Amino acid sequence: MSSTESPSLEIPDAVLDAVPEYAAGTEAVVIVDFQGVVLGMNEPAEKLFGMGSEEIAGEFVEMLVPAGKRWGHQAYRRGYLAEPRDRDMDPGLYPEAENAEGEIVPITGRLQPVYVDARLYVAAHVARDDSERPETD
């Protein structure tokens, strides 16, 4: 790839092999590259977020986060990139997403790092969290 070409938005086959839930559709999965750019999401994630994969591909993952929390999410993402490991999203932070209609959706999730040719990809396994949460602003 030349320096004038944009990075590929295709999900490498090796990432799909490492994240079988993506193709199987057994859970909602969003795949991002090392810069936090969404490469795609599967059908369960499309239903959760109320948009097609093609609508979000190429955007930063923060576009799936409520507007008031996007800057904070960028900091969390940078911290994760400093030490990527398979882990749950911090439930004490009460993770939330924003769907296409602007509805705030409480979520739970797990972050799964996948390396392909020394390049980091992250699979975010997400689900609606219907458990009771404290009131937040």
**What structural domains does the chain harbor?**
29-128 (3.30.450.20)
What is the rounded average pLDDT of the residues 12-33? 96
Q: Are 33 and 113 in contact (CB under 8 A)?
A: no
Structure tokens at 5: 């070409």
Bridge partners of residue 127, in order along the sequence: 108
What is the rounded average pLDDT of the residues 22-48? 96
- Using the structure block, give the residue that is written with the tokens 């923060």: 62
Structure tokens at 77: 């993402």
Instruction: State the distance between the two ends of the chain, measured CA to CA, in whole angstroms.
Output: 44
Q: Is the pTM of this model over 0.85?
A: yes
Mean predicted lDDT score pLDDT of the chain: 88
Task: Return the percent helix, strand and coil in the chain, to nearest 5.
Answer: 35, 30, 40
